[in-house]
Structure 1
Amino acid sequence: MPELYVGERHWSVSTGSNLLDALNQAGVAVPYSCRAGSCHACLVHCRGEVEDQQPDALSPAQRESGWRLACQCRVVADLHVEAFDPSRDGVPAAVVGVEWLSTHVLRLRLQPERGLRYRAGQHLVLWAGPVARPYSLASLPEEDPFLEFHLDCRQPGAFSDAARQLRVGDRLRLGELRGGALQYDPDWQTRPLWLLASGTGLGPLWGVLREALRQDHQGAIRLIHLAHDASGHYLAEPLAALAERHPNLTVELWTAAQLTPALAQLRLVSRQTLALLCGHPASVEAFSKRLFLAGLPRNQLLADVFLSRSISGC
């Protein structure tokens, strides 16, 4: 049976064991969220052979340096593992803004200790002490001097509970920056662009929308935000202000009660339409099904799904 080595500890595990499960079951605190290789919260450094079920989830440079996603690896031989340590591997960041945009949505703005190159719509893992969670960036690097995140604090959770207590001047750590599906491509400039979000899935699309407008997108842009009720449209005013300044942008604010009839009315105006979706899995699925039925080719739909559970190293 293979041996796992973590610091001064080592123990035997069954061949083919999932690395994340083997570590957590032995009390090694490795956070996780999606278990699909998307959130990158379970990043660990490995020396030894593993069976990686999603090798393309990390860059060649990361893999060459020994980083792996524990949720995607099976143990097949003796393995030395070092968990991501935010105090050592993370980038320090100061809280420069904390504001409630609605009853449940907290806008968090961070200033990293060193510059961070990113594109609108990418993801970062945020660490508050031993508690971590991946969030999408709502900021725009060319315009915003901070990193902005929209946190859904409707449900209790390890990270959202910690976030409620944050004040300006507090410090967090930034983990892995990753691509994400929701990024604006300048080659799209003349094509119709649909941005469909539910809840705080609007955050990354807020960044993508502003990037499209910054690059003078010429095609029609249609943004739809689905919220539980009218009070959930937490960016209604800034979206309306953008629509006033940009004639090619239309904004629609839907509530859950309006979803079924509103979806039934969705019609494509062009087979060249591109759709970017973000939010709760059920909402993304509902949007996707309707768009496919309306004739949108699958390769013209990009989606990120938000998972509601928090992750913790505890």
Structure 2
Amino acid sequence: MPELRVGERCFTVPPASNLLDVLNGAGCAVPYSCRAGSCHACLVRCLDGLPDDARPESLSAAQREQGWRLACQCSVTGDLQLALFDPLQDGLPATVAGLDWFGDILRLRLRPGRALRYQAGQHLVLWCAEVARPYSLASMPADDELLEFHLDCARPGAFSDRARHLHLGAELRLGELRGGALHYDPDWQARPLWLLAAGTGLAPLWGILREALRQGHQGEIRVMHVAHTRAGHYLAEALEAMAGVKVELVLAEQLDDALAGLKLASRQTMALLCGAPSTVERFARRLFIAGVPRNQVLADVFAEHA
């Protein structure tokens, strides 16, 4: 059977085993979220040997040349010597510059050790000590170099438990910056723009909305935010203060009726969706029925564990 070496540890695994599963099963604590090769939380570095990679295109040629692989997409076919992502060595330091609570939702603002070039809607892996989780950026590049994230801390979780104890000046580490499916294209300026979010799925759409307005978007802008309670509409006041933006704050039990009210005025409509998988699927199904072409629906799905 193939042999894996991680630091001083050595163990054998069944052939064709998923690399992420065997590493975590052996207690190596490799973080992950999407398991689809998108979030890049599960980066590992191959020092000797290479696994079978199902999605080599998920990493740049330079990263692959350095031996980096996404564990979730790899199968073990031979002996491997690995190094896990080390946030102290491989991550970018960032200090906590803002902590604002909206019920159980934390608006976290970080000042990175160096300025990052990014677009609204991208995401980063945040490391708090040895615990990591990918989060979408709620900021846009014009936000004074501060990076903003919205963390749902309602349920216990390895990362959210630590987030509750953060303080101004605390240091986190940033993993790789990634582009998800969500973004704003200046070519959309005359098109209707629908932004549909559930919970903290609003985070990337908040950045994209403000970027669209900054760029002088001319078409209709419609925002639908779904939450389980009124308090869950944590950006309600800020959204409703935006001129020219139609805002619908919907409770989860009212979602079917709200979706039935989505009437398409133009087949040029662009729709951006974000939230838990089940809600995003409901959004997408209704948009298809309403007549929005599939290639004009962009979606990011949030993992449901904290």
* Common fold: TM-score over 0.5: yes
Q: Deviations over 1:193-212 (max 9, x none)?
A: 11000111111100000111
Whether 2:304 is the aligned partner of 1:308: answer yes
Q: 143-152 vs 132-141, which deviates more?
A: 143-152
The correspondence of residues 285-296 of structure 1 with structure 2, limited to 5 A, is 285-296=281-292
Q: Deviations over 1:11-36 (max 9, x none)?
A: 32222111112212222221122222
Q: Deviations over 1:51-109 (max 9, x none)?
A: 11122222222222211110110011222211001111111110011110x21111001
Q: Secondary structure at the match of 2:262?
A: coil
| Corresponding residue number in structure 1 for 2:225 | 225
Find the aligned partners of 1:32 and 1:254 in 2 and give their Cα distance: 30
Find the aligned partners of 1:239 and 1:232 in 2 and give their Cα distance: 13
- TM-score normalised per structure 2: 0.96
Q: 35-44 vs 125-134, which deviates more?
A: 35-44
Find the aligned partners of 2:143 and 2:174 in 1 and give their Cα distance: 20
| Corresponding residue number in structure 2 for 1:266 | 262
Amino acid aligned to 1:155: R
The correspondence of residues 165-204 of structure 1 with structure 2, limited to 5 A, is 165-204=165-204
Find the aligned partners of 1:192 and 1:62 in 2 and give their Cα distance: 38
Whether 2:293 is the aligned partner of 1:297: answer yes
Find the aligned partners of 1:180 and 1:60 in 2 and give their Cα distance: 19
Amino acid aligned to 2:171: R
The correspondence of residues 110-129 of structure 1 with structure 2, limited to 5 A, is 110-129=110-129
Q: Secondary structure at the match of 2:207?
A: helix
| Corresponding residue number in structure 1 for 2:216 | 216
Q: Secondary structure at the match of 2:191?
A: coil
| Corresponding residue number in structure 2 for 1:39 | 39
Amino acid aligned to 2:274: C
| Corresponding residue number in structure 2 for 1:62 | 63
- Structure 2: give runs of 5+ residues left out of the alignment: none
**Divergent runs of 4+, >6 A:** none
| Corresponding residue number in structure 1 for 2:14 | 14
Q: 62-71 vs 88-97, which deviates more?
A: 62-71
Find the aligned partners of 1:96 and 1:67 in 2 and give their Cα distance: 31
- Structure 1: give runs of 5+ residues left out of the alignment: none
Q: Secondary structure at the match of 2:37?
A: coil
Find the aligned partners of 1:189 and 1:236 in 2 and give their Cα distance: 24
Find the aligned partners of 2:21 and 2:83 in 1 and give their Cα distance: 15
Give the length in aligned residue pairs.
305
Find the aligned partners of 1:106 and 1:92 in 2 and give their Cα distance: 20
By how many angstroms is 1:118 displaced? Answer: 1.0
**Contact 2:115–2:145 at 8 Å: present in 1 too?**
no
By how many angstroms is 1:144 displaced? Answer: 3.5
By how many angstroms is 1:151 displaced? Answer: 0.5
Q: Percent same amino acid at aligned positions?
A: 67
Find the aligned partners of 2:188 and 2:234 in 1 and give their Cα distance: 28
Find the aligned partners of 1:236 and 1:8 in 2 and give their Cα distance: 52
By how many angstroms is 1:38 displaced? Answer: 2.0
- TM-score normalised per structure 1: 0.94
